[in-house]
Chains A and B, each alone.
Chain A
Amino acid sequence: MAWMAWTWPTAAFFVTIGSLLVLMTVLAVARPEVPRVGILRIETTRGDRLFISLLGSAFLCLGWLALMGPPLWGALALCLIYAAAVFRWV
């Protein structure tokens, strides 16, 4: 696989996303998803909330990069807070 020039950070990134998906699948089997309506007044399931968290986090990181520049540790903390808020209220 050397010709594809994989790096450890990319691997870590995809392993994180992959394990999140596996975790959600296991959760969905153990405790089936129930849609609910939150502050956005749209119906969301757990999977929808994960999608909103990930997509929003990507834009938070880009915004941080545009305004403050690297490193992104602050943005990562912000993303975690944002994701927790999405899972709690959306």
Chain B
Amino acid sequence: MEKSWNNRAWFLVLPVLALVAFSAVVPLMTVVNYSVQDTFGNNEFFWAGLEWFEETVTSERIHAALGRQVLFTAIILAIEVPLGIFVALHMPKKGFWASLCLILMAMPLLIPFNVVGTIWQIFGRVDIGLLGRTLTALGIDYNYTNDWLDAWVTVIVMDVWHWTSLVALLCYAGLQSIPEAYYQAAKIDQASRWAVFRYIELPKMRGVLLIAVLLRFMDSFMIYTEPFVVTGGGPGNSTTFLSIDLVKMAIGQFDLGPAAAFSIIYFLVILLISWVFYTVMTNLDREDRP
């Protein structure tokens, strides 16, 4: 039977469109509008053309922040994704322990970002923090407030502590959906543990892994609160990531024009990398199919 094709149902999404325009599209347009102007307050704007964009793409300060951001995100993904998969593979499949694991794993995800920052800020302090005091007692010279490497390690460990369980929970959900028959077939073929992982578990987890990688990429690329609370971007500028720098520029210095140009470029970079991740991972899936 020929199905009739009617696109008029699309009119039903008009209210959502209006709401999104009001809350997202128009504010984004405002950012573009500010990026080509200069203001000294008092709501007076002066035409600046492409000056802020030129300043942003040639600014050493922003290049440095971008470099730190890319490094941070790369380290985070390189640790959290394999670790999350590893944890998911070793979680109990059913029963009391499975439920307990799930609850324990979900705990860090429920803690607000600024509280996570505060926990680690105190945890790492050499005078009153458990971690800081223990490391000092062991003879390790650890101080995240004046050593850039210590600050980086603290911020990275904090992020791993906070977000690995998201990757693990998503992978766990992916693993749970694999029918038992696949494992039985693998057993009959005497497949090794690695072969089972490589040809059954990993392909079946691809969908959830795509979501996990995208979420972790975007979240870590936009990270603000936790490093801001723990290190405030210091020592020096060593943990000043892109959004910390952006907020300093927009709200600290009230440079709306340069900050707007900066945010647009920031947005474009996120859009590009997310699109590449998405395209690569969805197309890998397609090539596997006969």
Residues of A within 8 A of B (CB): 3-7, 9-10, 13-14, 29, 41-43, 51, 55, 58-59, 62, 65-66, 69-70, 72
Most buried by B among A4, A29, A43, A51: A4
Interface string of B213-243 (1 = CB under 8 A from A): 0000000000000000000000000000000
Contact of A70 among B33, B43, B54 (CB under 8 A): B54
Residues of B within 8 A of A (CB): 7, 29-30, 32-34, 36-37, 39, 43, 45, 47, 49-50, 53-54, 57-58, 265, 268, 271-272, 275, 279, 283, 286
Q: B39: which A residues are within 8 A, CB to CB?
A: 5
User: How many Å lie between the Cα of A58 and that of B269 in the bound state?
Assistant: 10
Q: Are A55 and B54 in contact (CB under 8 A)?
A: no
Q: Are B33 and A59 in contact (CB under 8 A)?
A: no
User: How many Å lie between the Cα of A9 and that of B29 in the bound state?
Assistant: 12
Q: Are A7 and B268 in contact (CB under 8 A)?
A: no
Q: Are B49 and A70 in contact (CB under 8 A)?
A: yes
Q: B265: which A residues are within 8 A, CB to CB?
A: 62
User: How many Å lie between the Cα of A19 and that of B117 in the bound state?
Assistant: 45
User: How many Å lie between the Cα of A66 and that of B63 in the bound state?
Assistant: 12
Contact of B268 among A6, A13, A41, A58 (CB under 8 A): A58
Residue of A nearest to B46 (CB): A5
Q: Are B279 and A42 in contact (CB under 8 A)?
A: yes
Q: Are B47 and A7 in contact (CB under 8 A)?
A: yes
Supposing A5-B45, A55-B275 touch, asked if A13 and B54 sit within 8 A by C-beta, the answer is no
